[in-house]
A = this chain, B = another copy of it.
């Protein structure tokens, strides 16, 4: 929305004779024409998003060439922003490191990152729970994304529901978290169990881990959507990044 003070100033200058009518008219009309979208506040959301919510601009690396990723990375860092590239192959990191020498790479999570310090800290801890060792790449994508977004992260791995004692032994850590991300493949039962143990919001991430009738994560996805514990919501299969975004937004409330 055009600034009321700007409008008043313009009208006063016209009234005082400091501004000819044509110039005032043209200035108003130019602003009006440009306004609807530039000034609607949409773009501002983007610019201020990192500061308020802990969600920086992110580069989805899959399907992009190493040089494309490097070029975008240079731009983001050049603007003084935090850099986060997900689904990045090692070769992409080689290319990024040439233009952003102090970027770092998390191999298991396939994440490139360089923090710029502009994101305020989240209010509590985000716990990332993972059912099996094969779920770790997705869990790590979530964990590192959350850390880059200035959230303390507690990792609780290898706590699948077929070995309850390991999960139950960590109930203090579960109950201490402000937001919980649960990553699981196969039957996707972990969010139901965790959701029954805690009062915190639970973001569930199905993974494509499994074979046969897991159908690329479909079994885990359906399982999580049908979770019998309230307070659980689900993101796309293998979408550790998306889960961390939502968790960080909640943790920055």
Instruction: Identify the A interface with B (CB < 8 A).
Output: 1-2, 4, 7-8, 11-12, 14-15, 21, 24-25, 28-29, 32-33, 35-38, 40-43, 45-46, 49, 52-53, 55, 58, 62-64, 123-124, 131-134, 160-166, 168-169, 171, 175, 178, 186-189, 192-193, 195-201, 203-204, 206, 208-239, 241-243, 245-246, 249-250, 253
Contacts and interface: CB of A to CB of B under 8 A. Distances in A.
Given A15-B21, A192-B162, A245-B231, A226 B199 contact: no
Given A15-B21, A161-B228, A187-B188, A233 B199 contact: no
A163 to B, nearest CB: 6
Nearest to A203: B233
Copies in the complex: 8
Contacts of A225: 187, 212-213, 219, 221, 234-237
Contacts of A171: 40-42
